[in-house]
Amino acid sequence: MKILVTGTNGFIGKNLIDRLLAESHEVVNFYGDRREIDTVIHLAAIAGIKPELQKVKEHYQVNVLQTVELLEFCINHKIPNFVFISSSSVYGNNGGRPSLETDPTDTPLCHYAATKKAGELACYTYHHMYGINITCLRLFTVYGPGQRTEMAIPLFTRLIQQGQEIIMFGNGYRDYVYIDDVVDAIVSSLHSNKGYSIYNIGSSQKTDLVRLIFNIEDFIGKKSKIKYQPNPIGYAQSTWANIEKAREELRYNPQVMIREGLYKYIDWYLKNPNNKF
């Protein structure tokens, strides 16, 4: 299969490319050979939920307008399949229960969430008007070796190991999903891309921040210094995925639960203390 992938320099993109090549797919970027492409996987996006990290115009220009431009590219070049990487942030605050794909998604808490929802809507419109097959994958909190160092698990790991203070915002929980399981889901979607579908991709396991920090302390062998602060604007209190639709239709079956995934990450981190991403 010949696949165009955007966002190949990112954390998920690099892991996905390795898997696709290992499975003998031909992978091209947007500036490569555009002939007879079977599928586009659209990973590229401007991330960031913290208000001080959000570049509002850039969020909308990249996450929405470039998604539309890529959909236009698919229509113009008769590419039949499109995989859009969305986010659990579209759910806003989920009310303390697992989010379903049919839940309302009209109350985004930050610009990033709004742009991901807008991207999904654009995808549906292109499917409806032109018949292109589109799968939207709503990723929950992805983690693993090589992820951005400002994310919670790499940040907490580094601060605990260095004996520095951790700032803990609230005490909600997150559905942490290991990178290998996310890549499995994306690859599975290549073989089930018919019509328009949305899937939650998580572990279906909730982990609160206190438990997350305790596990990191346990693996590193050091206690942390925690400063508690309320959630800043833009943060969901908690996330948790219902993944039954993905289990049934994509045969998605996450293998790495949080404690094993943390062990894998911390083992990698301790062997690569100067890693930067």
DSSP-derived 3-state class of residue 85: strand
Give me the mean pLDDT over the 37-45 stretch.
96
Q: Classify residue 263: in a domain, yes or no.
A: yes
31 catalytic? Reply is no
Instruction: Domain of residue 106: give its range.
Output: 2-271
Annotated catalytic residue within 60, 91, 112, 173:
112
Greatest distance between any 2 Cα atoms in the chain: 57
276 is a domain residue? no
Total structural domains in the chain? 1
Task: Give the residue carrying structure tokens 């609230």.
Answer: 170
The whole-number pLDDT of residue 189 equals 97
Confidence check: pLDDT of 54 > 80: no
Amino acid of residue 127: H
Q: If you search the block for the tokens 């806003």, which residue do you land on?
A: 92
Q: Hey, what amino acid is at 158?
A: R
**251 part of a folded domain:** yes
| Residue 39 domain flag | yes
> Is position 44 within any domain?
yes
The answer to whether residue 277 sits within a structural domain is no
Alpha carbon of residue 37 to chain centroid: 24
Compute φ and ψ for 142, nearest 5 degrees: -80, 140
pLDDT, tens digit (0-9, with 9 covering 90-100), for 127-173: 999 999 999 999 999 999 999 888 999 999 999 999 999 998 888 89
In a domain, 161, yes or no: yes
Give me 103's structure tokens. 């839940």
**Structure confidence at residue 199 as a pLDDT band (50, 70, 90):** very high
Whether 50 maps to a domain, the answer reads yes
pLDDT at res. 277: 47
Q: Which candidate, 122, 154, 129, places its Cα nearest to that of 141? A: 154
* d(C-alpha 72, C-alpha 87), whole Å: 22
Cβ contacts of residue 44 below 8 Å, gap of 6+?
Answer: 6, 7, 10, 13, 62, 66
What lies within 8 Å, CB to CB, of 262 at 6+ separation is: 153, 212, 215, 216, 219
Looking up residue 42, the CATH number of its domain turns out to be: 3.40.50.720
243: its two tokens: 């993944």
